[in-house]
Chain A
Amino acid sequence: MNTETILSFEEAMEKYDPVLGFEVHVELNTKTKMFSSAPNVFGDAPNSNVNEVCLGLPGVLPVVNRKAVESSILIGLALNCKIAEHCTFARKQYFYPDTPKNFQTSQYEDPICYDGWLDVELADGTVFRVEIERAHMEEDAGKLTHMGGATGRIQGADFSLVDYNRSGVPLVEIVTKPIEGAGSRAPELAKAYVAAVREIVKNLGVSDAKMERGNVRCDANVSLRPYGQEKFGTRTETKNVNSLRAVENAVKFEIQRHGAVLDSGVKIIQETRHWHEDTKSTTSGRPKSDADDYRYFPEPDLLPIVTTAEWVEELRATLPEPPAERRKRLQADWGYTDLEFRDVVNAGLMGEIEETIAAGASAAAARKWWMGEIARRAKLADVDPAALGVTPAVVVEIEKLIAAGSINDKLARKVLDGVLEGEGTPAEVVQKRGLAVVSDDGALQKAIDEALAAQPEVAEKIRGGKVQAVGAIVGGVMKVTRGQADAGRVRELILATLGVEG
């Protein structure tokens, strides 16, 4: 599908200096929409969470959702932004069927939050400061599904379905200033930046922050310039890169692609690019110039938003612990080593582990599962571990089953298989698959007697006091019971059978 030549990342980095820029859209989890009283709920039947306002019917007028404004201010404060004392909405005009009014109500010249920064910690602990240009309020568009055609895009589709449930959902768009100096760490920084924003909005409680649901969406701008050149190169904007891994990969790919284009003496076309998870590459979208004419003008149906100092301070007082401090606290609480904790942060699993511990697992068990089996499976499936489908409750339940002796570690992995294949809760999977540890002493005794009879010389050694030889018998029993026996209990029973003190 993608036939473009690309440089190796190393070669691209040798020749060119990357400049990045991000637009991250955060969907707020307010009860109602940005400008209407229709419910803001994900996943309901198409076009059920709509009213005349978010359908843009003739005669309707918008009313600003106060909660959404407060959430926007909170995001701004968490990003160290200034909060505008006075700001307005504007209409961004373009004809497209996902936008019922054929204009999007957004902010243009005077965003509610501006001039901020965010310190982003990279995998090795390096802190990189990203400057925030602005964070502004706007409304989401409906969701189009293009039917027929090969690409799933509007070109070549037979028809398109539109779901206006998302139309009018409150969004905050966070725009960075150009990010210079990331060098070869640009892809890593891209991922870390989006992860940090996601963590902030989740921590604030203003967004569900699920990337797989589009709660946090990233448009990644990339340009290259020769080292030493001040002027930025021509940029491309890769749209809607919807996982942390994809952000990293998309930035890396665009750097490699730009490098090859520039090497061949061709100019980069300023355009949007589409990220393809299957081929790990981008394809050309639509040309985009800085002078795209959206005919912005002040939204005449809405009054300016005026933020008093008292209001902003009231909101500031409700800010949760900042992520860096939170990390310090959690590491201490959980007793992880620096290395262990950094691995957790880099894997983007701090929240999952916190939830798992809160749900009743030990810190060690939570780490063992998320960083071990779940992370391994996620890597195989090429998804973020959080998107794999394992919930904290599943981890806690599996741990409980292990602790109760119902299953062992080996069986637990099979239980996880069952859960991921949709067979139900861990307990249900244990039952359906017959995975419970064999704890019926009668059944075990029979297997032990057989194993002892099969290896009489080993039995003799044990009788003679070489207790460590019991392992061979245990292995035999486990083989016969296909691993479904509690190894500790088997050992006890063997020693009892042979009349030896453990």
Chain B
Amino acid sequence: MPANELIRSSASAMAAKLAAKEVSAVELTQAHLDRITEVDGGARGVHAFLHVNTEEALAVAADVDARRAAGEKLHELAGVPIAVKDLIVTKGQPTTAASKILEGWMSPYDATVVKKLRAAGMPLLGKTNLDEFAMGSSTEHSAYGPTRNPWDLDRIPGGSGGGSAAAVAAFEAPLALGTDTGGSIRQPGAVTGTVGVKPTYGAVSRYGAIAMASSLDQIGPVSRTVLDSALLQEVIGGHDPLDSTSLTDPSTGLVAAARLGNVKGMKIGVIKELHGEGFQTGVENRFNDSLELLRSAGAEIVEVSCPNFGYALGAYYLIMPSEASSNLAKFDGVRFGLRTLPTEGPLTIERVMGATRAAGFGDEVKRRIILGTYALSAGYYDAYYGSAQKVRTLIQRDFAAAFAQVDVLISPTSPVTAFKLGEKIDDPLSMYLNDIATIPANLAGVPGLTLPGGLADEDGLPVGIQLLAPAREDSRLYRVGAVLESLLEAQWGGPILDQAPSLSQSVLETVGTAAKEAN
């Protein structure tokens, strides 16, 4: 199989080819490294990666090949390469959180999820771009420059996990890890035509994910198919004694659910408050198509109301910055990372910390630290943080009431398709509204999945469909998601990404032009 065809396969298909020895892990890994070289760099490259881990990835692949040749029993995904969001710490590769304050920092330890990837024999292709400290919905807040959407290089890939989503959409990696605090896995999935899952809070260990908002953060899979995400979540999930908020549930049954193949008799709830006004027409249309398909497959579609979801965004923008202001206090130039000395005046510890944080953090990070510091201040705590926590309880109750009526909930993932780079960078409020449909799941701790729902009529860009399930019922997402995916792909005659522009040509041409101009 030619390399460009190989890299377009699903991870599960790659795993099958590896098991059948039709391809070696080294060949598969090299094909992805070549693709990264081809499309990621240059002035108009995708720029999904902040670091490419060529040597180690190939060494791991070679080791997997040797073990397979020796007849060793390997993990199903052994030899399938993966990209890791640069918010997750890795030994042997820098971890920056896309911030200047951590430029060049090498973690002395591996995140629990990274340990699990290594144990499964999955070569780590590198670290993917994100909004600095995962704060943003466009990856434009990366201190190392934005990632571009493979569907249109002038558009955002979503955020904060734009790098992971774009890497998977551009066939630079079959799988990636993301983190989702308010939609950072799902919204990028929606605008890049890929799949992403935020598992139940506690289903995947957070140990080694640089914290933004501890009570909302969750690591999850990024892929091109629902089954692939299920395979990956089974690898990374499960109890971790190093994370006190980690659930004791085993990480099983997800792949089986994705392979079940029917939704007959399931009740699916349309959240009244999460479609219609404020949602782009093309998004609304594709959402209705998906409802129709599910109905045709024997699911019962009902409308449910979650009246408090209207307060979710407000509560989120108090809780998240409050926790972030605390979690980011450790970045002070004393023990690791950037240290900046004040240009004038005495060199006291306070002034060095101040100068370091002034130079090391970007505007959006500073904005959230200031918001959070204010919200936690004496005299404001009850009105802001305290009230937000009450709203959180109300949202949890909305979910509980909804899940008393239906098995899963459904909504568009993002109200709009990918917008242009720079379009919302100076308008934080409008940027925050991208996460209106994804935030409630984080506030309640319930799992959410996004899968491609087609292309919007008005701009031809991908639309995401979001499924939500009760806590610890992640398998329902995979069951319904896989069925909807197969129905949609049957309509399209193949994966949605087949309709994406051929990236390599456009990038190469642009790079070629730039090179000529430079001469």
Contacts and interface: CB of A to CB of B under 8 A. Distances in A.
Interface stretch (B308-316, B373-381, B409-417, B466-474): B373-381
B242 A63 contact: yes
A454 B408 CA distance: 115
A174 to B, nearest CB: 25
B245 interface: yes
A64 B244 contact: yes
A359 interface: no
Contacts of A300: 213-215, 245, 323
Q: Which of A55, A93, A300, A303 has the most CB of B within 10 A?
A: A300
A386 to B, nearest CB: 36
A34 B491 CA distance: 57
Given A91-B326, A301-B245, A57 B109 contact: yes
A259 to B, nearest CB: 33
Interface string A283-303: 000000001010111001111
Interface residues of B, number: 44
B95 A58 contact: yes
Given A59-B207, A295-B377, A297-B322, A95 B332 contact: yes
Given A58-B89, A303-B245, A297 B377 contact: no
A58 B334 contact: no
A286 to B, nearest CB: 13
Interface stretch (B7-15, B64-72, B100-108, B395-403): B100-108
A400 interface: no
A315 interface: no
Contacts of B108: 52, 57
A295 B108 CA distance: 31
Contact of A293 (B207, B332, B378): B378
B344 interface: no
Interface in A264-284: none
Main secondary structure of the interface of A (DSSP, over half): loop
Contacts of A57: 107-109, 335-336
Given A52-B108, A295-B376, A61 B244 contact: yes
B171 interface: no
Interface string B491-503: 0000000000000
A387 interface: no
B96 to A, nearest CB: 10
Interface string B195-210: 0000000000011111
B236 to A, nearest CB: 15
Contacts of B323: 297, 300
Contact of A102 (B109, B330, B378): B330
Interface string A51-76: 01001111111111000000000000
A100 interface: yes
A103 interface: yes
A64 B242 CA distance: 10
Interface in A31-63: 52, 55-63
Contacts of A55: 335
A153 to B, nearest CB: 13
A195 to B, nearest CB: 36
B327 to A, nearest CB: 9
A53 B77 CA distance: 31
B443 to A, nearest CB: 13
Nearest to B213: A300
B19 interface: no
B457 interface: no
Given A59-B209, A295-B373, A97 B244 contact: no
Nearest to B241: A63
B340 to A, nearest CB: 15
A58 B107 contact: yes
A58 B97 contact: yes
A96 B335 CA distance: 12
B350 interface: yes
A303 B377 CA distance: 23
B182 to A, nearest CB: 15
B332 A102 contact: yes
Interface string B316-327: 000000110110
Contacts of B243: 61, 63
A450 B326 CA distance: 86
B515 interface: no
Interface residues of A, number: 31
A297 B381 contact: yes
Contacts of B350: 95
Contacts of A62: 244
Contacts of B206: 61
A154 to B, nearest CB: 8
Given A56-B335, A57-B108, A58-B89, A291 B95 contact: no
Interface string A116-158: 0000000000000000000000000000000000000010000
B120 interface: no
B377 A59 contact: no
A95 to B, nearest CB: 6
A327 interface: no
B514 interface: no
B214 to A, nearest CB: 4
B492 to A, nearest CB: 40
Contacts of A95: 329, 332, 350, 353
Contacts of B331: 58
B88 A59 contact: yes
A50 to B, nearest CB: 10
Given A93-B326, A93-B329, A291-B378, A59 B349 contact: no
A212 to B, nearest CB: 28
Given A293-B377, A295-B373, A100 B210 contact: no
Contacts of A296: 376
B385 interface: yes
B487 interface: no
Contacts of B222: none
A35 to B, nearest CB: 9
Contacts of A101: 329-330
Interface of A: 52, 55-64, 91, 93, 95-97, 100-103, 154, 160, 291, 293, 295-297, 300-303
5 contacts: A93-B326, A96-B349, A102-B329, A291-B378, A295-B373
Interface of B: 88-89, 95, 97, 102, 105, 107-109, 111, 206-211, 213-215, 241-245, 322-323, 325-326, 329-332, 334-336, 349-350, 353, 373, 376-378, 381, 385
**Interface pairs A-B: 8 shortest CB-CB:** A102-B329, A300-B214, A295-B376, A300-B215, A59-B208, A293-B378, A58-B210, A59-B89
Given A59-B209, A97-B334, A300-B215, 18 more contacts: A55-B335, A56-B335, A57-B107, A57-B108, A58-B97, A58-B102, A59-B208, A60-B207, A61-B211, A62-B244, A95-B329, A97-B332, A103-B329, A154-B349, A293-B378, A295-B377, A300-B213, A301-B244
